[in-house]
Structure 1
Amino acid sequence: MNKQIREAVELFEEVMIFGTARVIRTVDNPLWKEYSPQQIQMLKIIHKYGPITSGRLADVQGVHKSAISNRLKKLSDQGLIQMVKTETDQRAKLLELTEEGARIVLQSDRVLYEYLEQLLSGQVEEQEVEQFIAMFRKLKNILRWDGE
């Protein structure tokens, strides 16, 4: 494997793993004490791709379908998600956010964006941000899920 590609992947992984941990540890927000990072991620995925099946949600999160059942139950019990039937297959159930679930996603995003904007202010030039966006748009198109 190309050394630069390997380094890029390793850096990306480190930023994702340690960046998430730092944000959760540093930002004192009750939202992140009430919901786990995995629950927030599930809400964000449903917000972006919903209505979505639990199987597709498991694929996007990279976990076995049984691993998300408990999280889904908790989110449903808290009134953040709901199950809806499809028009074509009454047995199939799709997950969608409730209004409260959408509010939680927007609040989480706002807190994250404000923190990262403050953290990166004066550290990253506008041109670097533009390069970052261009590269991630390209990667998104290359890695796009089937059917999107």
Structure 2
Amino acid sequence: MDNRIQEAVDLFQEVMIYGTERVIKSVDHPLWKEYSPEQIQLLKLISKEKQVTSARLAVMQAVHKSAISSRIKKLLQKEVIQIVETTDRREKLLELTDKGQTILAELDKVLTDYLEKLMSENIADEEIDQFLTIFRKLKTIIKMDGV
């Protein structure tokens, strides 16, 4: 395997792991204390999918269904998600409530503001353009893979 690919994978994983930790420690906002990183990611996934089953969320977060059930229960209690009944009574879909959409928009704004400051101080515009080009391409490739 090309060593550059291995390095890219390693760097990506490190940025995701340590970057998430740094953001959590650095972003000072009440919502970041009220919702766990896993709950925030779950809200983002539900938002992207519009309506989604808990089984699919478990696969997407790479955790056991019991972990997803616990997160879903907490988010239902906070009234940021709701269950949508379908014609198949066995299948229950989850979607964001209006409150959930508002909370997620605020969380996204706080995160974007923080990352914008971090990047504008340390990364040139051309590098941001290169990053976007590569990640758009990766997103297309991954979606073509049937994910």
Q: TM-score range by the shorter chain?
A: over 0.9
Aligned length: 146
- Look up the equivalent residue of 1:118 and give its one-letter code: K
Point out 4+ residue stretches in structure 1 off by more than 2 angstroms: none
Alignment of 1:1-148 (within 5 A): 1-87=1-87, 89-144=88-143, 146=146
Q: TM-score, normalised by structure 2?
A: 0.94
Q: Pairwise CA RMSD of aligned residues?
A: 1.2
- Look up the equivalent residue of 1:106 and give its one-letter code: A
| Contact 1:85–1:91 (8 Å) recurs in 2 | no
Partners of 1:30 and 1:142 in 2: CA distance: 37
Partners of 1:63 and 1:50 in 2: CA distance: 20
Q: TM-score, normalised by structure 1?
A: 0.94
Partners of 2:126 and 2:118 in 1: CA distance: 17
Secondary structure, counterpart of 1:111 in structure 2: helix
Q: CA deviation at 1:101?
A: 0.7
Secondary structure, counterpart of 2:39 in structure 1: helix
Partners of 2:39 and 2:12 in 1: CA distance: 22
Which runs of no fewer than 5 residues in structure 1 stay unpaired?
none
Partners of 1:84 and 1:122 in 2: CA distance: 44
- Look up the equivalent residue of 2:33 and give its one-letter code: K
Partners of 2:16 and 2:39 in 1: CA distance: 16
Q: Share of identical aligned residues, percent?
A: 55
Which runs of no fewer than 5 residues in structure 2 stay unpaired?
none
